[in-house]
Amino acid sequence: MNRRDLLKLGGLTLSQAATSGSPLFGLQNLPVPAAAPPDGKPDYTLRISPVQVELDRSHILSTIGYNGSAPGPVLRMREGKPVTIEVINDTDTPELVHWHGMLIPSAVDGTEEEGSPLVPPHGRYRFQLTPGPAGSRWYHSHAMAMDDLHKGSFTGQFGFVYVEGASNLGQYDQELFLSLRDWEPFFTSTMEDDDDDTHNEPVLEKPTNPNTDPNGLEVGSMTYSINDKALGFGEPIRVRQGQRLLLHFLNASAIENRRVALAGHKMTVIALDGNPVPTPRAVDSLFLGAGERADVTVEMTNPGIWILGSTEKMVREAGLGVIMEYAGQHRQPQWIDPPRRPWDYTIFGRDTSSSPAPEQTVEMIFEKIPGGSGKFNTWLINGKPYPHDREFVLQKGTRYRLVMRNRTDDAHPMHLHRHLWELVEINGRKTAGIIKDTVVVPYYGRATVDFTADQPGLSLFHCHLQQHMDYGFKALFRYA
Ligand SMILES: [Cu+2]
């Protein structure tokens, strides 16, 4: 990077800090400049441009995608091997590409709040990053949307990154990348979705004001898909008896947590958010908060034609599913409702006896201020919407415990950029060894995670529901 670029980066950062209303953006918090990317052909080019997604014959959607499709291509990278990426923005709005789950500098993390440069409209930006850790990561727009449902993660700007590394997911006959998506977002004041999954849990965190009426606007969807096709359209997944499948799931929704199942089969969870779990377990269904991933294996031992899809009938019938077809079978695709067991991360963990104690504890209280009819709710962390002052300052090398107390009537998928955390407790159930970057904090409940502050630079912490993030539900972690 030459001096002019450095100045440009610094200037951008400061002006962004000024416009985001953060007066305490000290010099020591300027992002560490990324290594100068080499000239010549980049290893990966991502072109952000309008695309059409043909979910089925009657639903051809116009959105923004990567390289002519939505989802974008599966990018395979090797852990620790630097890559040069060029992002070309063919749209009229500034964009950011965030690398979710990677441990990379703020300058290339693709997050405006951290000071990553915006890719200007009809401009391009080239940078280098060193992929890692190994596993299922993903890339997506981190632009704000606010009241515009054609921006940010409401668009088709998402895709898998698979970082190849030493971790071995075992033998398999077929590998598939499956992103769960909703489309045609609209504003609504009544939300009925699979957040209800956490409603049967004990109420550990009571709101100060339990009255959430009149609720502000949330976002619903009309149509759904796995990858770019609605259930019953596109090619089925063709399998043979005796095969073992490796399925990578991603909930790429901007707005909803989701539960999926494969009729007639159990799925064995081997990794969460791309990181191998201490105790792989077979489950009847998977619950994924927005932004979460799960890698599962499935033994194809039950010949037939089956539906893999949302456990919510309405959502499945509106497209969220794909047909799994054994060779030589010819009947109608079948769905079987899985047993309704609450999702419990801790069954994949290990015993807590060898867990190190944290050195510092950070308490966080999440609250909602109902927006009232036709307006938006505001979301608070410790009594304030974004931006905060210097409330979350980390000492490098310190092991932190983050206690997230959710005093709202929604389950929030909370994500910390540029760090991995270890789940230590969910609604009073203790666990260890589950390494994640996103965790769903239950309805009126609590999640506790530990992490080591080993990634200097600014790191955004936020709810992965676009609407919640845009209306206050985020905070910047900085290093002392
Ligand atoms: Cu949220």
Task: Give me the CATH number covering residue 373.
Answer: 2.60.40.420
Clarify whether residues 27 and 155 are in a common domain. Answer: yes
170: its two tokens? 């075992």
Q: Do 322 and 178 share a structural domain?
A: yes
Q: Is residue 412 part of a domain?
A: yes
Q: Would the CA dihedral through 379, 411, 199, 377 be positive or negative?
A: positive
> pLDDT exceeding 90 applies to what percent of the chain?
80
**40 CA to middle of ligand 1, Å?**
42
Query: What does each C-alpha distance from 359 to 399, 400, 411, 450, 477 come to in angstroms?
Result: 5, 6, 28, 10, 17
Same domain, 222 and 87: no
The position carrying tokens 């290093």 is 479
pLDDT at residue 87 greater than cutoff 90: yes
Neighbour order of strands in the sheet with 446-452: 378-381, 360-369, 399-406, 446-452, 421-426, 429-436
Instruction: Write out the two tokens for 360.
Output: 């510092």
Tell me: pLDDT of 23 over 50: no
Q: Residue 12: what pLDDT? A: 34
What does each C-alpha distance from 121 to 96, 329, 332 come to in angstroms?
A: 11, 50, 48
Where does a domain end: 145, 164, 183?
164
Ligand 1 centroid vs 199 CA: distance in angstroms?
A: 15
CA of 234 to the centre of ligand 1 (A): 32
Rounded Cα gap, residues 55 and 61, in angstroms: 8
Give a yes or no: residue 11 inside a domain. no
Q: How far is the CA of 440 from the centre of ligand 1 (A)?
A: 9
Distance between Cα 264 and ligand 1 center (Å): 33
CA of 409 to the centre of ligand 1 (A): 10
* Cβ neighbours, 10 Å, residue 2: 8
Residue 10: which pLDDT band, with cuts at 50, 70 and 90?
very low
Cα distances (Å, whole numbers) of residue 61 to 69, 190, 254, 436: 12, 24, 16, 33
Both tokens assigned to 307: 């539906």
**pLDDT higher than 50, residue 306:** yes
Ligand 1: centre distance to CA 71 (Å):
23
For residue 62, the CA-to-ligand 1 centroid distance in Å is: 26
Strands of the sheet containing 124-129, edge to edge, are: 59-66, 44-56, 83-89, 124-129
Question: Strand pairing partners for 187?
Answer: 219
Confidence of residue 203 (pLDDT cuts 50, 70, 90): confident
Cα-to-centroid distance, 472 and ligand 1 (Å): 10
58 burial type by CB count under 10 A (0-12 exposed, 13-18 middle, 19+ buried): exposed
pLDDT the model gives residue 13: 35
The whole-number pLDDT of residue 36 equals 66
Residue 80 and residue 132 in one domain: yes
Out of 35-39, 368-372, 466-470, give the one with best mean pLDDT: 466-470
How far does the centroid of ligand 1 lie from the alpha carbon of residue 185, in Å?
Answer: 16
Which residues sit opposite 379 in a β-bridge?
Answer: 368
From 99, 133, 164, the end of a domain falls on: 164
Is residue 169 in some structural domain? Answer: no
Centre of ligand 1 to C-alpha 479, Å, is 25
Domain extent at residue 408: 352-479
- Confidence bin at 355 (pLDDT 50/70/90): confident
Quote the ligand 1 centre to 240 CA distance (angstroms): 41
From 348, 365, 382, give the residue that closes a domain: 348
In total, how many domains does the chain have?
3
- pLDDT, residue 472, reads 96
395 and 336 in one domain? no
How many angstroms is it from 408 CA to the middle of ligand 1? 9
